[in-house]
Amino acid sequence: MANISIRNVSKSYGALNVLRPFSLEIEHGEFVVLVGPSGCGKSTMLKILAGLEPATEGQIFIGDREVTDLAPGDRDIAMVFQNYALYPHLTVRQNIGFGLKMRGTDKTEIDRRVDDAARILEVTPYLDRKPKDLSGGQRQRVALGRAIVRQPQAFLMDEPLSNLDAKLRVHMRAEIGALHKRIGVTTVYVTHDQVEAMTMADRVVIMQGGLIQQIAAPDELFNNPANLFVAGFIGSPG
Ligand code: ADP
Ligand code: MG
């Protein structure tokens, strides 16, 4: 069974249909990127997956459970958003461990898992620093650390790099790719940047106006775009 199954999900705000019936099966360990122009419904889709917005219709399964009506905290997912807010008064160690502490995990276990996450993300030397004493890239890694420390079924990321400058963005793309290879957690990643989508994804979901235009691996999209919109959006000659 797929790791994430989105079945005929639609979303309307009053008369505005933001998502047309949308179905997508995501395999265990897959890195899927939702991409499309601003306003096409990417963030809405991710919020529905996360449980931050209810779907108007349809069902969502994560792992082997239906989660359609479950609260975000009960879905076994971790989110990384564009405006990743680290707690300024807490150290890196406390920031990474915060979610576990809130869940009542015991201190030895928190320390062990924070140390593991810090090692994976190479922030061990900064564990006792406060966020203000970190670079943008280090802060972004701490934000990722907060997600991976929970060992979730899936990561959901909404434009996690868009606040970074161009050079760091390219660097962090590679870091997120390497992190994904190392821990292999199913990831749904949202971006409006087609280069980011084409370089990071196992499969790309191209959206426009709340509709899926095509779902395919990057080389397939490039060689066989389904329509002119897809070809124009990814800059394919076809
Ligand atoms: P994207 O992330 O692709 O830029 P969004 O999912 O944020 O797009 O938004 C898709 C559409 O839904 C936009 O037209 C947006 O204005 C609309 N929208 C998003 N949230 C709401 C809301 N809470 N109420 C009404 N319209 C909304
Ligand atoms: Mg968005």
**Could you read off the pLDDT of 15-24 as tens digits, one per residue?**
999 999 989 9
- Cβ(152) – ligand 1 distance below 6 Å: no
| Confidence at residue 183, expressed as pLDDT on a 0 to 100 scale | 87
Residue whose CB lies within 8 A of the most ligand 1 atoms, among 35, 44, 162, 191, for a mutation test: 44
pLDDT band at 103 (very low <50, low <70, confident <90, very high): confident
What value does the mean pLDDT take over residues 61-80? 92
Percent of the chain with pLDDT over 70: 97
pLDDT value at residue 171:
85
Over residues 156-164, the mean pLDDT reads 87
Average pLDDT over residues 200-229: 96
Indicate which residue's Cα is closest to atom 19 of ligand 1. Answer: 44
Q: What is the mean pLDDT of residues 125-154?
A: 91
Q: If you average pLDDT over residues 223-229, what whole number do you get?
A: 95
* Among the bound ligands, the one closest to the CA of 157: 2
Q: Say yes or no to pLDDT of 112 above 60.
A: yes
Q: Which atom of ligand 1 is nearest to the CA of 42?
A: 3
42 or 166: which carries more pLDDT confidence?
Answer: 42
- Specify the pLDDT at position 163: 78
pLDDT at 132 over 70: yes
Residue 128, pLDDT > 90, answer yes
Predicted confidence (pLDDT) at residue 224 exceeds the cutoff of 90:
yes
If you average pLDDT over residues 175-181, what whole number do you get? 89
Q: Is the dihedral of CA 97, 102, 107, 112 positive or negative?
A: negative
- What average pLDDT does the chain have? 92
* Protein residue whose Cα sits closest to atom 7 of ligand 1: 43
Q: Residue 238 pLDDT > 60, yes or no? A: no
Our answer on whether the CB atom of 87 is closer than 6 Å to any ligand 1 atom is: no
Q: Does residue 15 have its Cβ closer than 6 Å to ligand 1?
A: no
What tens digit of pLDDT does each residue of 34-47 get?
999 999 999 999 99
Average pLDDT of 51-70?
A: 95
pLDDT above 90 covers a percentage of the chain that reads 71
- pLDDT at position 82 is 67
